[in-house]
Amino acid sequence: MNRLPQIFIQNIGQLVTVAGASQRPKTSREMDDIGIIRNGAVFIQDGIFRDVGTTKRLREKYHNKNLKIIDAAGKLALPGFVDSHTHTVFGGDRAEEFVQRIQGETYLEILKKGGGILKTVHDTRKIKFQKLVEVSRQHLDTMLFHGTTTAEIKTGYGLDINSELKILNVIHHLQKTHPMDLVATFLGAHVVPPEYQYDPDAYVELLCNMLPRVKTYATFCDTFCDEGAFGIKQSEKILKKAESLGFKLKIHTNEFKDIGGVSLAIRLRVLSADHLDNIKQRDIVKLKESDVLCVLLPGVPFFLMRDTYAPALRMIEHGLPVVLATDFNPGTCPCGSMQMIITLACLKMGMTPAQAICAATINGAHALGMANQVGSIETGKQADMIILDLVDYNQLPYYFGRNHVVMTIKHGKIVMENNQFMAVS
């Protein structure tokens, strides 16, 4: 077997491990404990953290081994971010609509006129496979440079079998060729495509028939259950069929309106309910009795210039497992930086930096069913780690708007250093 080099990283000023929550997500007060080791070190072998502790203890243990030694010179280290909600594979962009929106048109008005998601569907259907791989890879590279080492990617800009399969094949190709761990989600139920606009139920039927064909490519099935998209009955039909075929479930809900999506999420025991900007107190209380993870996406209300952010603090007080993700997409959040999302979570939802870091790492891993492999720095887990040009984790959201990551390690390999990709052997 071709063994990876053994790496010893020492003198990490603050090693934020977020350890101890691989079995169940962190909730309530636990979210403020991010497992800091001062002057920390990690020993990595075969892509796995083999030891995590203080530099003093680990140096004594490993000093005479033949190791690649990296000196972190007092900097901050975190687990690689886990972005559990993205729509990374799409053609074109919507910078023109951005201008229309700042001039007063709303997102839903633009969608009703055939723009919005439908514009991206048009561009994504047109673009050739190879070109779509190329542009999607560039988006992933940007995310990796900003510290994301694991991401989910949804389909949903194809909306016919061939275009959805094209997107799934792009994701599959990137899973084999990009350093990040990527998880695929089928979101055929994103919006009703123009050709079914007068018969949405026929589109729901078509989706149910697509499910067996896309199953080999996608782990999750998701629906956009909201005003202007799919109703409760339609979402339920698709998700139930998906579950019977072995998909794990997710739902977009309460982004624009409360149409009862949270009750559906609980009834279907989805792994995560995402957005939740317009959630009522009674649904927060109901969620407490379930295991549904709450994936919050503050980049969306920020970019749509709305004041309705998900009530993250109330959710945390009620003991709900809160997750943060970007929702990277061309319409409602063209930003794939989890660092920016952490800043927004603090400024717009009142989360502490520690809570936000938990939500962006180990809790994100739970939202992908991957918490045994990624999301924290602890012995036995995949060695995904970022080093930031900071000395304290509170500085991460504070110095907002710039990329603090100076080194990204994915599965024990240095994949980025000082804004350069590393040739991975």
Q: Name the residues that contact ligand NIG, by CB under 6 A.
A: 87, 116-117, 120, 224, 252, 255, 300, 327, 329-332
Nearer Cβ to Fe ion (181/327): 327
Q: Which among Fe ion, ligand NIG, none contacts residue 362 (Cβ within 5 to 8 A by kind)?
A: none
Q: Which among ligand NIG, Fe ion, none contacts residue 300 (Cβ within 5 to 8 A by kind)?
A: ligand NIG
Collect all residues with Cβ–Cβ distance below 8 Å to 316 and sequence separation of at least 6. 27, 28, 31, 322, 351, 355
Q: Which residue has the tokens 């004594």?
A: 60
CA distance 280 to 275: 13
Q: Which among ligand NIG, Fe ion, none contacts residue 224 (Cβ within 5 to 8 A by kind)?
A: ligand NIG
Q: Which residue has the tokens 């109703």?
A: 231
Q: Which among Fe ion, ligand NIG, none contacts residue 330 (Cβ within 5 to 8 A by kind)?
A: ligand NIG
Residue 10 pairs with which residues in a beta bridge? 71
Residue 193 CA, distance from chain mean position: 25
Nearer Cβ to ligand NIG (224/393): 224
CA distance 334 to 327: 8
Among residues 39, 81, 13, the alpha carbon closest in space to that of 405 is found at 81
Nearer Cβ to Fe ion (59/348): 348
Q: Are strands 68-71 and 76-79 parallel, antiparallel or unpaired?
A: unpaired
Q: Which among Fe ion, ligand NIG, none contacts residue 331 (Cβ within 5 to 8 A by kind)?
A: ligand NIG
**Long-range contact pairs involving 194-199 (C-beta distance under 8 Å, separation at least 24):** 194/114, 194/118, 195/160
Distances in Å between the Cα of 274 and the Cα atoms of 53, 144, 206, 214, 372 are 35, 22, 24, 22, 22
Inter-axis angle of helices 161-177 and 200-214, nearest 10: 40
The least distance separating Fe ion from the CB of residue 277, rounded to whole angstroms, comes to 12
Question: Which run of H or of E encompasses 71?
Answer: strand 68-71
Q: Which residue is nearest to ligand NIG (CB)?
A: 331
Nearer Cβ to ligand NIG (153/406): 153
Name the segment binding Fe ion (CB under 5 A); options: 122-130, 302-310, 321-329, 371-379.
321-329
CA distance 392 to 386: 14
Nearer Cβ to ligand NIG (41/192): 192
- The count of residues interacting with Fe ion (CB under 5 A) is 1
Question: Which run of H or of E encompasses 12?
Answer: strand 7-16
Q: Which among ligand NIG, Fe ion, none contacts residue 396 (Cβ within 5 to 8 A by kind)?
A: none
Nearer Cβ to ligand NIG (252/404): 252
Q: Which among ligand NIG, Fe ion, none contacts residue 35 (Cβ within 5 to 8 A by kind)?
A: none
The least distance separating ligand NIG from the CB of residue 277, rounded to whole angstroms, comes to 10
CB 390 within 8 A of CB 399: yes
Q: Which among ligand NIG, Fe ion, none contacts residue 116 (Cβ within 5 to 8 A by kind)?
A: ligand NIG
User: What x/- string results for residues 325 through 364 when contact with Fe ion is judged by CB under 5 A?
Assistant: --x-------------------------------------
Nearer Cβ to ligand NIG (120/235): 120
CB 78 within 8 A of CB 17: no
The least distance separating ligand NIG from the CB of residue 342, rounded to whole angstroms, comes to 19
Residue 159 structure tokens: 């909306």
Q: Which residues bind Fe ion (CB under 5 A)?
A: 327
